[in-house]
Amino acid sequence: MDRQVQGEDGRDWVVRAELEWRPPATSSAFEHDAAGGYTPGIAMAVLAVVLGGALVIWKPDRVQIPAWVLLALLLIVLFFPLRWILRRPWTVVAETEGDLTGERPSERWVGTVRGMMAVRPEVTRIAKTIQRHSLPDFDGPLHPVE
């Protein structure tokens, strides 16, 4: 997702957001990033699928399973993958090459926004702040990078 924005001072900014497949290792969340790998999660997913399949396959012949039970099992199986996809962190970057006269230098601001639904309004807010003040908001998720 790229957006071209012109600041109040005449500089052209590019605001872009990219999905991060792995959470960035920051000092505040480092201890949570040192997981044992994907093996426990995969083992639990396989176990849940096997137990769910056993529930459906090993039923007596005269028992009829309502459709809502199968739908509920499907929703339970899809809950965590959908939550994982919707809560991925996005890296938001706002950068400019500077102006033609050389009075204003090039700048690069980088930050992280968590969630697919939160990234689009945040990029819009950053673009509006750049149009009004020629810089992203210091109180927002972006911070200058040298």
Can you say how many angstroms the Cα of residue 54 is from the centroid of all Cα atoms in its chain? 35
Which residues pair with residue 108 across a beta bridge?
A: 95, 145
Amino acid at 34: A
pLDDT of residue 54: 87
- The predicted pLDDT at position 24 comes to 62
Report the distance separating Cα 2 and Cα 119, nearest Å: 12
Q: What is the mean pLDDT of the chain?
A: 84
121 vs 40, 57, 117, 124, CA distance in Å? 35, 46, 8, 5
What are the tens digits of pLDDT across the range 87-103? Answer: 889 999 999 987 667 67
Looking at residue 18, what is its pLDDT? 93
Q: Where are the beta strands (DSSP E) in 1-146?
A: 2-6, 12-19, 89-96, 107-114, 143-145
74 pLDDT higher than 80: yes
- Whether the per-residue pLDDT at 65 is higher than 70: the answer is yes
Residue partners of 13: CB distance under 8 A and separation at least 6: 4, 5, 6, 7, 94, 95, 96, 127, 130
| Bridge partners of residue 15, in order along the sequence | 3, 94
Tokens of 70: 């199968």
d(CA 110, CA 46): 38
